[in-house]
Amino acid sequence: MTRLSVNINKVATLRNARGGNLPDLEQFARDCEAYGASGITVHPRPDERHVRRQDVYALKSLITTEFNIEGNPEQPFIDLVLDVRPEQVTLVPDAVDQLTSNHGWDTRAHLAKLTTIIQLFKRAGIRVSVFVDADPVMVEYAAKAGADRVELYTGPYADMYDKNPVQAIDMYRLAAEKARELGLGLNAGHDLNLRNLHAFVAAFPWVDEVSIGHALIADALYLGINETIKQYNNALSI
């Protein structure tokens, strides 16, 4: 079954709004695991506006499932990941002030840079996933760079799903099949939610992992985090 990694950045944003420790990010991560999450994802941005560097260290020592750290591999991020050694790092090409990730790597244009960085992380025993748009050429060059997995950017899937679900799936077919053909692991993330998640994994049951933050945390306001994780895990079962 596709694994659910809960992105807890939004919980850190809420905490940071008041400067104290409410909600408690570490307790939230523990609870997500207890309620059935298969992993925890964080995206520590350079301005520390949500998850901070010190959170990343604290979380590493308590997470018992799988820790995934996302970010743009500038030197401070590389140093942090090599120091913390999560199970997985996801390379995302977003700018410092970007609201949220909104595109994948041009893996062909950045082949040399990605190859060097991927080698560095793999030598440290960290699985490397590269965030790409749903383009088979980008998947192919991620494989050439030595990536273990690609994470398909599902923002356009979510936009299209509400208008035309069949077309939404079709937009991802070639990239998802290319990953499978090349023996790359497959992750997916961005704007996945309880409406559109099941159709995605039913169409591409070889998806290894989804990482979900915004919609999941919003659902938890109504359902509670325990029930929310149950419902996302149900949506993942096919």
Which positions lie near ligand PXP, rule CB under 6 A? 7, 9, 43, 70, 90, 92, 100-101, 131, 151, 189-192, 211-215
Choice between 11 and 20, CB closer to ligand PXP: 11
List 66, 70, 140, 151, catalytic entry = 70
| Residue 43 falls in the annotated catalytic set | yes
Give the shortest CB-50-to-ligand PXP separation in angstroms. Answer: 9
Could you give the C-alpha distances from 21 to 9, 30, 44, in angstroms and in order? 14, 15, 17
| Phi, psi (deg, nearest 5) at residue 212 | -135, 130
Give the shortest CB-215-to-ligand PXP separation in angstroms. Answer: 6
| Residue 190 falls in the annotated catalytic set | yes
List 43, 50, 66, 151, catalytic entry = 43
In the chain the first and final C-alpha atoms are separated, in Å, by: 8
| Residue 70 falls in the annotated catalytic set | yes
Choice between 86 and 189, CB closer to ligand PXP: 189
Residues 6+ positions from 204 with CB-CB distance below 8 Å:
172, 173, 176, 186, 188
Give the shortest CB-155-to-ligand PXP separation in angstroms. Answer: 7
β-bridge partners, 40: 6, 67
DSSP reduced 3-state for 147: coil
